[in-house]
Amino acid sequence: MVYLSPVIQPLSVNVKFKVIILFFVMIGTFISPTFAQQFEEPNYRIRGGEVLSFEIDPDTTSLIISLDQRARGELTITLPRNLIDAKIGSEDTDFIILVDGAFKHDPMDEIITVSDRTITIPLRGYNSKITIIGTQVFSQVTPAPTVIPQQQIEKKIEMELKSEIPNGEAKLLIFSDTKWSGALDSTSSDYTEIVGQNDRSIVFACEPSLLREGFFGAKIQKMTEDGYLKIVAIQNQKIMAQGSTEAQFGEIIIQENCISSFETGSGGGGCLIATAAFGSEMAPQVQFLRELRDNTVLQTESGISFMAGFNQFYYSFSPAVADYERENPAFKEAVKIALTPLLTSLTLLQYADIDSESEMLGYGIGVILLNIGMYFVAPVVLIMSRRQFVNMVKESKN
C-alpha cells in the first residue's frame, strides 16, 4: 500500500500579506479603540444606503466607513493614494475589505491611476461598517492655520499712534507669537541688530538733516516655521511703513523716508519761542503762526523744502531760548517786542493768492528780505545815521 502525503502549497505573497494584516486588524479591533483623525472625505457614490462618516485608523492602516445600508446596492469610492494605499515594495496589491467585520472574498472592480484607486464594493441590506485596510495611511491632518489677532494688533497700533513720540524719533512696533531676529538702521541712528520673542517696541532716531533726506530700514525674520510676524513703523502719529508674514521662516523688509516734524500739520512741532513769549499755545499770535505754516507754507513743495531746513536750524536753539524766557520775565518781554515786526510782515501772506510754486517762492523770498531789512538793515542804517548825526554835532561845535 502506498501512502500519499498531502502536498502543501506555499502561500503566495499577497495571501500572506492579507492573512497578517487581517490578524492584526482583528486584534486591534478588540484591544484598542479606533483613533480617528480629520481629513478631507474621498469622493464616493452609494446606492441603496447612506454614508454616515469616515475615519482613519493609523494603528491598523485602515479607512473605516460608517453607513446606513437599507437595501442591496454598492459603494463606489475613489481612494487618493495620499490618504490610503496598498503596496508591496513599489507594486500595488489588493486592499483588504471587511464588511461588518467579515472578509469580502468576492472580486471587486477596481480602477487604478497614478494618484488614486477607485473600487466598487457590493453591499446587502443592513450593513453598518466597511473597513478598507491598506499598507499605509496618511492622516492628512493639516496644522491649524495661524490666526493673527488682527483686532488686538489694530487696537495696540491705534494706542501707539495716540501716544507722543519726541520730535526726531520714531518707533518700530513688532507683533509676533514666536521668536524673531533682524536689524534696524536709519540715517540718524547706528545700525542695530535686534533679537526677541512675541511683541516688542523699539524707539530710534529718524530725522532729515540739512544736507539729505532722512530714511530708515528694518529687516525682521521669523525664527520658526509656525507663527506670525507683523511690524509697523510710526512717527509723529503716522504709520510710515508696515508688513506681515505667516510663511515658514518668513521675512519682512520695510524702507521709508523719515517724517520730519514740519510734515505733521497741526500735530507737528510747536512754535516754542512764540509760545513762551505769549504764554500759551492758544494765544492768537501762536495760532496765527501755526495756521500760516499748515495752510500756506506747507501747501507747496518749495514751502515744505524751506520748512525742512528751517526746522533743523530753529529747533537747534529754540528750546534753550524758550526755557530762558520762562525764567526771565524781562527777556520774555523783549522777545515779545522783537517778534512784533515778524508777525506784522507775515500777515502779508494771508492776503496773498498763492496758487503755484513760483508764487510761493516769490512771496516767500519777499517776506524774508523784508525781515532782513527790518531786523538787520534798518538797525545798521539807524546806527550809522546816529553816528553821522553825532559827528555833525561835534563838528558844528568845533
pLDDT (tens, 9 = 90+) of the chain, 398 residues, equals 444 444 445 545 455 555 555 554 454 444 444 444 457 789 999 988 899 999 988 888 899 999 988 888 899 999 998 889 998 877 888 899 998 888 877 778 899 998 899 999 998 878 899 999 998 887 544 445 556 688 889 989 988 988 877 777 899 999 999 999 999 988 878 888 999 999 999 999 887 654 456 789 999 999 998 899 999 999 888 898 999 999 889 999 998 888 765 444 434 455 778 888 888 767 888 888 878 877 777 777 777 777 777 777 777 787 788 888 888 888 989 888 888 888 888 887 777 777 677 777 777 788 788 878 778 777 787 888 788 877 777 777 76
Q: What is the pLDDT of residue 54?
A: 92
Looking at the domain that runs over 150-259, which CATH code has it been given?
2.60.40
Q: What is the pLDDT of residue 369?
A: 82
Which helix (H) or strand (E) covers residue 286, if one does? helix 284-295
Among 49, 11, 206, 190, smallest CA distance to 128 is for 49
Among 61, 184, 67, 209, smallest CA distance to 128 is for 67
Q: What is the pLDDT of residue 107?
A: 72
> Tens of pLDDT along 246-260?
988 999 999 888 876
E strands, 260-347, where?
none
**Which residues of the chain form CATH 2.60.40?**
150-259
User: d(Cα 69, Cα 209) in Å, to the nearest integer?
Assistant: 81
β pairing state of 238-245 and 200-205: unpaired
Q: How far is CA 297 from CA 75, 201, 304, 313, in A?
A: 80, 34, 7, 17
| Total-model pTM | 0.38
Which helix (H) or strand (E) covers residue 196, if one does? strand 189-197
Q: What is the pLDDT of residue 14?
A: 55
| 203: helix, strand or coil | strand
Q: How far is CA 122 from CA 62, 76, 106, 226, in A?
A: 19, 9, 9, 45
Q: What is the pLDDT of residue 12?
A: 54
User: d(Cα 293, Cα 271) in Å, to the nearest integer?
Assistant: 10
